Structure 1
């Protein structure tokens, strides 16, 4: 009797999951994800809520340091970029993430600086 109850609960859970997946599909199809490239990236890379929160915590921490360094007159932000790349969720590619964050208007000043540094060093990687 217990086995039948468990199987019934699993079937209900599977049905609920399928319903939620379909509803999510419908929401994604009508929303303007192009206006939200970072959010779109999170969907496409199946980032979990925990990974998302860790990413936001990282960004908040780095932005605080970034703003502090600006106030102190720092001109070189490479250490912050290195921290960003090293601590970013492995599901997210750093270059695309920086661009998506900037384009979505998140941490824009810091992302502009990171992108500038990234492409400066990326360009130099190809020079022989």
Structure 2
């Protein structure tokens, strides 16, 4: 089934770090959200959601004052994660600075690397942008 994630290993609960580098208008961003919701509904743990690159637009308003519909669902999902982080450089590049929600903070890539040691699995949705 496309777009569905099943976890049949309920006895072994896993800790996931999820890295989101997908613009909110892409199917990849929706797949990332579906994956995170499946993790939560299966009783597994999200140790960190890390948004970087255009992925920060899933939570912030862009420089043209647009908020994307997926933002509200991501915000709800972030409440279930131990830590939700937006990359500081990506926020400066892609988003208008605005108040962060209480359970989401802005930090650097070092925070992402540090959290990886707490996770059983690290999953990335999106791709690296080409250097210009």
Which TM-score band (shorter chain)? 0.3 to 0.5
The alignment's TM-score, normalised by the length of structure 2, stands at: 0.32
Greater RCO, 1 or 2 (C-alpha within 8 Å, sep 6+): 2
Per residue, is there more helix in 1 or in 2?
1
The alignment's TM-score, normalised by the length of structure 1, stands at: 0.33
Per residue, is there more strand in 1 or in 2?
2
